Amino acid sequence: MSGNDEKRTEETEEALFHNRKPDEKTYDPNVVINHVQTPEEKVLLKIFDRNIIPALWLMYLVSSADRANVGLALTMNVEAHHGLAATVGINSVQVSLGIALFYVGYTIFEIPSNLIITRLKPGVWLARICITWGIITALYAVINNLASFLILRMLLGIAEAGLWPGMAYYLTKWYRKSEIPGRIALYYFASPFSGIVTGFISAGVQLIDGAGDLYAWKWLFIIFGIATVLIGILVLFWLPPNPAESGRWLTPEQKEFATQRLLLETHEDPLWTIHDLLRQFTDYKVYLFSVLYLAPIMVSTSLQYYLPTILKELLLTTYGPSKVNGIIISLLAIPPNVMVIVGAVLITLLSDKYKQRALGIIVFQILAILGLVLLTFGGSLGARYAGALITGLGLGPLIPLSIGWTTNSKDGSVNIAAATAIVSSIGQIGAIISTYALYAGWPSDAPQFIGSNMVNVGLSGMGIIAAILLKLDFIRLNKQIDERGETDDGRKIKYLH
């Protein structure tokens, strides 16, 4: 497109907003589910997407890499016995304890972090989180015994606490409820993409094992730690708090329109109190969402940390020690992450288009279960590896749909922040179980990991039940809105289900 064409397009987009207010019928809170985006909104969403999503995507990319690189570090240069466990002198149970400690710190500080973000400029708080955990990641290079490994894992969890629910909360400052899950998916796919990136980088870094008197796994953490700090500094100047303070992103007319279109779906709460937090702790729907979120968190965490270990065991069983190579393991871990991306982006965007939440979650939970069963009982290397690919595809949309559905079902900044933090915290308990009690933390379960995988299958089944219960309950509550204009607790906006 030529410069003149681009200028004419910008002028046309700006002209849409002059003297334009949201249509009252379109923004009737009783028909939010049936809302159809206007041309003005489509222009806004394009602007938001190209300015907001890349920043969140980069943060989540390095977040996923920094927490999961431990799994790769265990198998890097394994043929030379230069992996993390071998060089530090720790066993598989101690590795599991260290991995789990990340989620202990993360869980404890998740809710406080997401309540603090409601009182600050969200972009500043997210940047603080990013810079802090980047510094700690780089410090992994000084790990030389069990104590330093455990302390740094705990500190990393504390530093990163609040990132995931904080990003979901930030989206509510810009997007309507029905628009959020698809946007979460757009930056969530940074997590499996990080598996692709780290797979290639760890494969390359293994070639410089011993450079500067450092093992290759230490170089991996230094590289990603520095990258994370730089991204955090960039985010500090990148993300404005809301449309009204978006600087050059929007014209004055666009800022006003962007603010007005959210007024009937969201509102600014006064400073939160303990009562606000307790109200979310006593909402049964929050716990159903927690179960819904916990199931895919457990499975994805298991694969994130232990897929390299599972692949190593598969290669050992099939070919023997002579064919096991750290670079091959790193490369084999890439395709399952590609499948996660496919599922995440495709299904969540379809979910937004058709205003469906439960159906996609149920179908893809079933797919993840089938993948886990095949990964466990497939017999041949090819069949079990196909199980890993199917599991990845099934996992793809589950986490963004779950957390997006949670934000859809709450009104007001404090309620959204508190509910997503509670759901995320309970979900991290599942991650603690996955990393401490299963896989490497369950030595007798190797090499087939039948028990660990079946625990994840059972929890995925619980996730399906939670999705069904939520759908039925939201149908009931929507009928109350149809009949008398609001639910028993005063909500006037229909639930997406």
CA distance 462 to 370: 15
pLDDT of residue 264: 63
- CA distance readout (Å), 287 to 112, 139, 217, 294, 326: 18, 36, 39, 10, 41
Which residues of the chain are modeled with pLDDT < 50? 2-33
What's the pLDDT tens digit per position in 122-148? Answer: 999 999 999 999 999 999 999 999 999
pLDDT of residue 137: 93
- The percentage of residues in the chain with a pLDDT greater than 90, rounded to a whole number, is 25
pLDDT of residue 412: 72
Does 447 sit behind a cis peptide bond, omega within 30 degrees of 0 on the bond before it?
A: yes
Other C-beta atoms within 10 Å of 463: how many? 27
Tokens (6 digits) for 82: 């230069």
pLDDT of residue 327: 78
CA distance 17 to 444: 65
Question: In order of start, what are the domains of the chain with their CATH numbers?
Answer: 46-243+270-484 (1.20.1250.20)
What's the pLDDT tens digit per position in 389-446? Answer: 999 999 888 888 888 888 778 877 677 778 888 888 888 888 888 877 788 778 788 7
pLDDT of residue 464: 95
Question: Nearest Cα to 36, choosing from 252, 261, 359, 344?
Answer: 261
Tokens (6 digits) for 271: 């400073």
